[in-house]
């Protein structure tokens, strides 16, 4: 089989790595990929906003399955477009992708189907939002409605911080903003809950806890994710049942009323308050870096699972996992999530010898003349599997120290809530 993977991050490299193990695979293409995928696939530098060029390439190369990694092509309707040409695609369609593409769409769905979530207000201009804040309690949460690469959420402790957030969102920091959300602050602990869907059935696909803030102690600005561990320390059978029955099933019912099936990965971002789950957000794909954290534990052939989803046969597939703990630390370019220098060489990568339970997934990298350069904010994902989170973290930090790259930084406290 020939498989194409859309995307260029650590998530896509980890998917690529696992799919490469399948006995069914003849060749993998990555659009556009990175320095890591270049070693195991053919990187193809296409404009991901030009759907015709993607379709033409898929048809020309007779690619059997396309897997869409990042959110933007999903929200823009790439799945619908390719399926119109009878191309097999794993990922949700455009309507289902509104779960991530519009936070207001999801909030209204929550309201209609009694899905537990933070109380909220929707505002279409600066003045009405600022008027509302006169009677708000703090902290309060302000969100951009549209896609923002994980950075469009502000937890504000006073009116001045709220005004700055509102001005930035309506000022176009995350693209044109017609509306913003102001939410109550939920005081609990976050958890990421993953499921995989075939349009009729779904199965659990792991849990994790991401670390969004750039600085240790969960301080500083929001990022795309500085690291994660899996499984979440919060998960238990009772909580899992509540998440499925109170949040995921009503959401699927809501999509069904819009004549839409859900096919693909679904990331349910939750706040757990007094053992009760509240929906924070949906992502219509695997999280990043949660994907890199969870995927290495998968024993079942990933390609078999994805093909079963495309054929609405997920219920016939048994998904098995290694009984291991997993931890991921993201090495970032100095300056991230603000401005950072690009095209800084990363030396010594080939000197880091990984055992079978250690992985390095590339994100913002490119290869040029057999040298590897950092071109993104999040550069490398170091992942380790172990029976013990502390041991996994120590192994990763040892590897990062061996790399000795002066162009980057990382959080040394990933997993601090589970490592005592």
Q: What is the CATH number of the domain that holds 50?
A: 3.40.50.20
Tell whether 307 and 193 lie within a shared domain: yes
Q: Are residues 166 and 204 in the same domain?
A: no
Same domain, 264 and 334: no
Q: Walk along the chain (420 residues) and give the pLDDT tens digit of each residue.
A: 999 999 999 999 999 999 999 999 999 999 999 999 999 999 999 999 999 999 999 999 999 999 999 999 999 999 999 999 999 999 999 999 999 999 999 999 999 999 999 999 999 988 888 888 888 889 999 998 888 776 788 999 999 999 999 999 988 888 888 889 999 999 999 999 999 999 999 999 999 999 999 999 999 988 999 999 999 999 999 999 999 999 999 999 999 999 999 999 999 999 999 999 999 999 999 999 999 999 999 999 999 999 999 999 999 999 999 999 999 999 999 999 999 999 999 998 988 877 789 999 999 999 999 999 999 999 999 999 999 999 999 999 999 999 999 999 999 999 999 998
Q: Note down the domain range covering 143.
A: 119-184
pLDDT, residue 205, reads 98
Which pLDDT value is given to residue 150?
67
Instruction: Take residue 9 and report the two structure tokens written for it.
Output: 């991050």
Residues 239 and 291 in one domain: yes
Buried/exposed code over 308-339 (b: 16+ C-beta within 10 A; e: otherwise): bbbeeebeebebeeeebbbbbbbbbbeebbee
pLDDT given at position 107: 94
Is 394 contained in some domain?
yes
Burial class for 20, CB neighbours closer than 10 Å (0-12, 13-18, 19+): middle
Domain final residue, candidates 299, 316, 333:
316
Q: Are 263 and 339 contained in the same domain?
A: no
Nearest one of 290, 255, 299, 305 to 67, comparing CA atoms: 305
> Rounded CA gap, 52 and 58, in Å?
10
**Of the candidates 147, 169, 184, which is a domain's last residue?**
184
73 inside domain: yes
- Answer yes or no: do 131 and 78 share one domain: no
Answer whether residue 199 is part of any domain.
yes
Q: What is the pLDDT of residue 272?
A: 98
Q: Of the candidates 385, 156, 150, which has an alpha carbon nearest to the alpha carbon of residue 269?
A: 150
Domain CATH code at residue 160: 3.30.1490.20
Asked if residue 101 is part of any domain, the answer here is no
- Dmax over CA atoms of the chain, in Å, equals 61
Domain boundary among 252, 286, 316: 316
Q: What are phi and psi of 82, to 5 degrees?
A: -70, -40
> From CA 24, how far away is CA 27, in angstroms rounded?
9
Determine the Cα–Cα distance for residues 323 and 312; give it in Å rounded to an integer. 28
Q: What single string gives the DSSP state of each residue in 108-154? A: HHHHHTT--B--EEEESSHHHHHHHGGG--SSEEEEESS--TT--EE
Is 274 inside a domain boundary?
A: yes
Name the domain count of the chain. 4
Cis amide bond preceding 147, omega within 30: no
- Give the number of other Cβ atoms within 10 Å of residue 158's Cβ: 11
Q: Name the residue with tokens 């191309």.
A: 87
**Which helix (H) or strand (E) segment is 401 a member of?**
helix 389-403
Shared domain for 142 and 221, answered yes or no, is no
Structure pTM?
A: 0.94
Helix axes 10-19, 302-310, angle to 10 degrees: 100
């Amino acid at each position: 089989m020939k498989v194409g993977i859309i995307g260029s991050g650590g998530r896509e490299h980890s998917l690529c790595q696992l799919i490469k193990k399948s006995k069914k695979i003849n060749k993998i293409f990555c659009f556009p990929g990175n320095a890591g995928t270049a070693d195991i696939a053919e990187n193809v530098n296409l404009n991901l906003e030009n759907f015709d060029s993607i379709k033409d390439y898929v048809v020309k190369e007779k690619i059997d399955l396309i897997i869409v990694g990042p959110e933007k092509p999903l929200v823009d309707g790439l799945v619908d477009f390719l399926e119109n040409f009878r191309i097999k695609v794993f990922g949700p369609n455009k309507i289902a992708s509104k779960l991530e593409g519009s936070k207001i769409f999801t909030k209204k769905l929550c309201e209609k189907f009694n899905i537990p979530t933070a109380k909220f207000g929707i505002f279409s201009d600066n003045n009405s939002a600022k008027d509302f804040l006169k009677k708000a309690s703090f902290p309060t949460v302000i969100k951009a409605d549209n896609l923002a690469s994980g950075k469009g959420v502000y937890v504000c402790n006073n009116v001045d911080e709220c005004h700055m957030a509102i001005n930035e969102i309506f000022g176009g920091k995350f693209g044109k903003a017609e509306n913003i959300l102001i939410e109550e602050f939920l005081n609990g602990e976050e958890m990421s809950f993953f499921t995989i869907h075939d349009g009729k059935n779904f199965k659990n696909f792991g849990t994790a806890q991401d670390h969004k803030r750039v600085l240790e102690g969960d301080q500083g600005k929001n990022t795309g994710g500085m690291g994660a561990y899996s499984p979440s320390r919060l998960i238990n059978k009772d909580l899992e049942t509540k998440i499925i029955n109170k949040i995921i099933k009503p959401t699927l019912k809501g999509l069904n009323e819009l004549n839409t099936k859900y096919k693909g990965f679904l990331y349910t971002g939750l706040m757990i308050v007094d053992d009760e789950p509240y929906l924070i957000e949906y992502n219509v794909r695997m999280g990043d870096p949660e994907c890199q954290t969870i995927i290495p534990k998968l024993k079942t052939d990933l390609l078999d699972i994805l093909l079963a989803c495309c054929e609405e046969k997920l219920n016939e597939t048994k998904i098995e996992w290694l009984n291991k703990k997993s931890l991921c630390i993201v090495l970032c370019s100095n300056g991230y999530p603000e401005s950072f220098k690009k095209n800084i060489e990363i030396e010594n990568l080939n000197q880091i010898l990984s055992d079978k339970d250690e992985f390095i997934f590339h994100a913002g990298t490119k290869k040029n003349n057999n040298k590897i350069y950092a071109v993104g904010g999040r550069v490398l994902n170091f992942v380790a599997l172990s029976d013990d989170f502390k041991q996994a973290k120590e192994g990763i930090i040892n590897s990062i120290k061996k790399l000795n790259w002066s162009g980057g930084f990382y959080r040394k406290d990933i997993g601090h809530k589970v490592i005592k």
